[in-house]
Chains A and B, each alone.
Chain A
Amino acid sequence: MIENTLAEELLESGRSEFVEQASSQVELSRRTFVQLLGTGLLITVTQGVSVGQRSRSRSRGSITVAARVHLNHDGTISVMTGKVEEGQGPRAQISQAAAEELRVAVDNIRLVMADTALVPDDGITAGSRTTPYTIPAVRQGAATARELLTSLAAKQWKVDPGTLDVHLGTITNKATKRTISYADLAKSKDVAETFKQNIPSDVAVTPVSEWKVLGRSVPRPNSRDIVTGAHKYPSDIARPNMLYGKILRPPSYGATLESVDLSAAKAMKDVVVVHEDQFVGFAAPSSFRAAQALEAVAKTASWKAAPHPSSKEIFAYLKERAQTGGRSRPSTRGSIDKALADASKVLSETYTVAYIQHTPMEPRAATAEWTAGKLTVWTGIDWPQRAQRDLAQAFRIPSDSVRAIVPDMGAGFGGKHSGEAAEEAARLAKAAGCPVAVHWTRAEEFTWAYFRPAAVIECKGGLDDKGSLIAWDFTNINAGGAAIDTPYNIANTSILSASSDSPLRQGPYRCLAATANNFARESFMDELAAAAGADPLAFRLAHLENPRIQTVLEAVAKHFDWPARRRKVTADIGVGLACGTEKNSVVAACVEVGIDRKRRELKVHHVCEAFECGPIQNPANLTSQVQGCIIMGLGGALREEMRFEDGKILNASFAGYLVPRFKDVPRIDVHLINKTDIPSAGGGETPIIAIAPAIGNAIFAATGIRIRSMPMQKALFRQL
């Protein structure tokens, strides 16, 4: 079930390559899911239900005004959305969107997020979709509400609505200066009646040139509760008489439980033990006690292990299992074979990307409570309605018997699309007869959540005798098709995303496969530039036809002072650049790296990045997202990788899995370009994709060594 939801997301990405990968993934994953989670909780979702879920999630725009906007008697306005706040800023930005169209101050908005009892289904919080889809939906709902309220006032005053003006929640008759506030109107029954109508899809919203609330740096509305510790995250939710749960996990992927002796835990005071097939769980008055029960029982468990490849052989493993034939056909342009044969120079290289993990600061957590056959869960997941559906299916109860609430949570980056902890907590709570909280440990999150896919990327490029790129053959095995198309103007291309048989459970991550595809493409473009004897910037500009990418590339080169910095390159200091596009936004980055041969350290000194995602809705938040993407990108570029052997993760800890820390933070210059003649796109993902290739290109500039694997630090010092 959970794997199905991950696969469904890949389907929703709308890329044919993904659809094919996803369908094979479902088959793999159903099998792996049972083995991995070891709970026996898998419920096969039929194709029909799956499609139904997808179409339901896409049925945006057909809700009533009342489902989106509610006038409170205290003058505030509740706005409802199914979106989840996990640190990327939708709480501020959706509040701004509603305030803009309702013509009220932003602190008049009470944004109700991610509670299935209260909010419409706005789809999953993922894929940079909040800005292009949810914000417009909220704006239309709010604009409709404003128009309906204005019409009500006009009716009361028997005037034409066009003669009325709305400012800060007060409607004014421009001629008579008579006023009425939304709060006063809310007292009449007419509002409830008129809000029953559906939000039309063609309602006009405020043009960018007239924005008063959007376009401003509005801080996250509940910031104060964050700095005082008052905000309750999913792992902070406590209920009366609540117990804390722990789950017995297999010692390795694919291991199945053969026997277990529960007597030691059963003898412990106040400990509830649940054993259903492969699921063994414990609930106790403290998590310490539950862990003691788990430890006592884990010693007695006998497991049947399953074979599993190691991270050392993973790329050969994925390549052997690549599904490049059958329905996986490359998308082509011109004649790749002829162009490669005609080319005066042909380069052929393979790039690899390791599995990495999101490691959000808050691991998976849930509190579950059953009351008269109805289930309420508080949990950290990117889609409350998905949790609701999954739990209803798992416990064979109607969806409306499940309420899923997602308090603003401790990050996700694409890693919390599945709701394992909620199901575990609900199972324990059902058996215990009282609320139960399940908080995954960091080691559990590292092992039993999912990973960004590893990739093998095969590139071939052909140059003509003038140094122009005439052939481009690009195959990504396993990671997916995000940003796989080249933005460069090349007459003959063949581009393929091929699925494989991932031994690790894999799923979305900030910008999906765009990081892998951009790493390979932008590094290989540098190789081709070198082969053509061209400057990397000039070579790119000569082949670019996307004016938005040209703009950010030229901007970043200017701010970084590319020509001068490139002339100053030494054996220890290198500069590199890269650009790209994904999710309707464009990015370019220049970096400077330092190579300390004695200490065997690679240090990124300076990152200069230009980014454009249409009209900027919240500059401060967008800056945070770009800065965060840049530093998160350093982690995957330099050091992060999952190491595994015999079905065990060898570095399931911050001791062995090295994420960026303060000491890694380079000088960062962010240049946001506010392009107001197109719709706004999301900005929380694409800024990550240019970092790794820019670093790889800088390493090459200094050392002449081309690193074709992420992460790069160890790979570099193996050769230096």
Chain B
Amino acid sequence: MDATMTLTVNGKERTVVTDPERPLLDVLREDLNLTGAKYGCGEGRCGACTVLMDGKQVLSCVTPVAKADKKKITTIEGLADGDSLHPVQQAFLDEGAIQCGYCTPGMILTAVALLEKYPQPTDEQIVAWMDGNICRCNGYTKILRAVRRAAAQITEVKIP
């Protein structure tokens, strides 16, 4: 049975009429044409589908869209401020922390959530926080460098 839900996605109010059990990931990708969040496992074990909901990271592949009703969702497409990249995005570029890049949106949003919780994280905090995100290119070394670099630069985390 379809339901009507209203989500604020990247600052814009979006109304969707759909099965409330559908994963938020599917609705973002298939209904709202926001394909930045990726499918990696469908069971919340790889972090590729990570988005922010009211500023907190969620695994959108295991989040029914009903849970996002009346919530603020930030996807990777909404992270930059116009042409100006978010410092975490810029840090990934600066460190070349990209191989295939499929895990990158999830990595970046997870790091944004980390830096909001721990603006000056220790290495142990970074590793523990990021451990739910898989990079199969195994580019972890440069991703860690990018997160440390962002942490060193950011004084205040801004979630649009």
Contact = CB atoms under 8 A, between A and B. Distances in A.
Nearest to A446: B41
B45 interface: yes
B134 A628 contact: no
Interface stretch (A220-228, A489-497, A575-583): A220-228
A89 B104 CA distance: 16
Contacts of A89: 99
A480 to B, nearest CB: 23
Q: Which 7 A-B pairs give the minimum distances between C-beta atoms? A: A229-B36, A87-B100, A410-B102, A229-B76, A226-B101, A631-B138, A87-B99
A211 interface: no
Contacts of A30: none
Interface in B86-137: 89-90, 92-93, 96, 98-105, 108, 126-128, 130-131, 133-137
B67 interface: no
11 contacts: A217-B96, A227-B85, A227-B108, A229-B77, A233-B35, A236-B29, A654-B45, A654-B134, A662-B131, A663-B131, A665-B144
A361 B100 CA distance: 9
A183 interface: no
Contact of A238 (B26, B33, B108): B33
Given A229-B34, A361-B46, A409-B102, 18 more contacts: A86-B100, A87-B99, A87-B100, A87-B102, A87-B137, A228-B76, A229-B105, A235-B38, A244-B30, A358-B136, A360-B102, A410-B38, A442-B41, A627-B142, A654-B43, A660-B140, A662-B126, A665-B141
Contact of B75 (A227, A229, A289, A439): A229
A627 B100 contact: no
Main DSSP-derived SS at the A contact region: loop
Contacts of B96: 217, 219-220, 223, 620-621, 624
Interface residues of B, number: 59
B69 interface: no
A361 B40 contact: yes
A228 B39 contact: no
Contacts of A630: 138
A627 B135 contact: no
Nearest to B23: A288
A227 B93 contact: yes
B22 A288 contact: yes
Contacts, number: 179
Given A232-B35, A361-B38, A663-B131, A227 B104 contact: yes
B52 interface: no
A288 B30 CA distance: 10
A298 interface: no
B55 interface: no
Contacts of B108: 227
A362 interface: yes
Contacts of A653: 41, 43, 45
Contact of A226 (B39, B104, B128, B130): B104
Contact of A87 (B38, B89, B101): B101
Interface string A622-660: 001001111110010000000000000000011100011
Looking at B29, B41, B92, B126, the one whose CB has the most chain A CB atoms below 10 A away is: B41
Nearest to B91: A227
Given A87-B137, A229-B36, A654-B45, A411 B93 contact: no
Contact of B136 (A217, A286, A287, A361): A361
A362 B48 CA distance: 9
B146 to A, nearest CB: 10
B43 A665 contact: no
Most buried by A among B21, B23, B138: B138
Contacts of B46: 361, 654
A631 B140 contact: yes
A88 B35 contact: no
A103 to B, nearest CB: 25
Nearest to B94: A219
